[in-house]
Amino acid sequence: MHDNGSLPNCMDPPTDFHTSLYAATYTIIFVPGLLANGLALWVLCRFVSKKSKAVIFMINLAAADLAHVFSLPLRMYYYLNHRWPFGSFLCQVCFYLKYLNMYASIFFLTCISIQRYLFLLHPFKAKNWKRRYDIAISAAVWTGVGAACLPLPILRSSDLSNDTSTCFADLGMKQVAMGASITLVVVAEFAGFVVPLTLILYCTWKMRQSLQENETIHTPLQPTSEKRKALRMILACAAVFFVCFTPYHVNFPIFMMVKREAILDCAVRHRALYFHPISLCLASLNCCLDPILYYFTTSEFQERLLCCNNASILNRITNHYSNSTTSSTGEKNEEGEKNKSILMAYFWTPRPQRFERDSMESPLSS
């Protein structure tokens, strides 16, 4: 595709590249993202104590991921068939959900990191922390992010490209004043990237510093194992942040200047346009990485998930014994009961007193 305007000698990346990339990425992440986030939301809502650290933020993070995952089949259809028959409104909704997921994920990852750090710093205040505080913070995040993302679909419309069968990357971009474009970029970069990145890096640095001090001077109220768990959680949030969201926000200002033709260098233009779809695909990858964060950094999530799996297996096996011994003699029934007791001891003995420990758990454990 050639630009026929003021840059006749510059060649943009071929449309086949970003079409194939989007189609492949969304196809790969749809099923894992749907199953993993659906399972995570089920376990977090039903089995994990709401008094556990950051669980409310994790629930909202999983909900944000699912909102984007639900729109992926329509995106897959468009990039595989090269046409959009579902109308302009649904196109705008799917476009909006993409950026809502990105910035909601950024802020909930930041909230998780800050809360883990603050609960470590003030363990007694953590005990008095109310669930409603997390709910209020989550509501504020959804409200702020939802309002801030509204201009994004407004600036992109199929009417601007004179083709109502186009959507997503092929939408036309509304030309706005240079001042408005600069404001949009500055707000998105500063509030949506620089501030969260700074907070996550600060929490990571302070947590490592606290862990090093704790190894020198042991503090009974803040055991090293608890600090390691908290640090692991913050490092996981930072890893997801860097992998998924940093590439997009590094490229975004350059991409906008290219679109505004403020940058005329053909090499820079080509690289910015070429990397833009790659960065958006990396941003979508967080739908698969967030559930891994829940599992490997939250011990209660692991225990509840394993508990549910073991309970399901136990129920199937005991039902099998019950059905097989219905028509048997009393001696076989007695043997079946013994087998059932052995199975129950096998599944439940490795994790004794889990439920008692939940009520006695330190406010710093994860």
Average pLDDT, the chain: 77
∠ CA(350), CA(352), CA(358), 5° rounding? 125
Q: Which of 91, 181, 109 is nearest to 145 (CA)?
A: 109
d(CA 274, CA 110): 29
pLDDT digits (tens, 9 = 90+) for 209-249: 877 776 665 555 555 666 777 778 888 889 999 999 999 99
pLDDT digits (tens, 9 = 90+) for 139-187: 999 999 999 998 887 777 655 555 667 888 777 777 777 887 888 889 8
- For residues 156 and 70, the model is more confident at 70
| Amino acid in position 118 | L
pTM beyond 0.75, yes or no? yes
- CATH of 15-324+333-360, picked from 3.90.1170.50, 1.10.1200.10, 1.10.260.40, 1.20.1070.10, is 1.20.1070.10
User: 1: which 2 tokens?
Assistant: 């595709």
Q: Find where tokens 């500063």 sit.
A: 190
d(CA 134, CA 143): 14
d(CA 116, CA 134): 13
d(CA 255, CA 272): 5
pLDDT digits (tens, 9 = 90+) for 80-124: 998 888 888 898 899 899 999 999 999 999 999 898 888 877 777
Bridge partners of residue 173, in order along the sequence: 156
CA 194 from chain center: how many Å? 18
Domain ranges in the chain are: 15-324+333-360
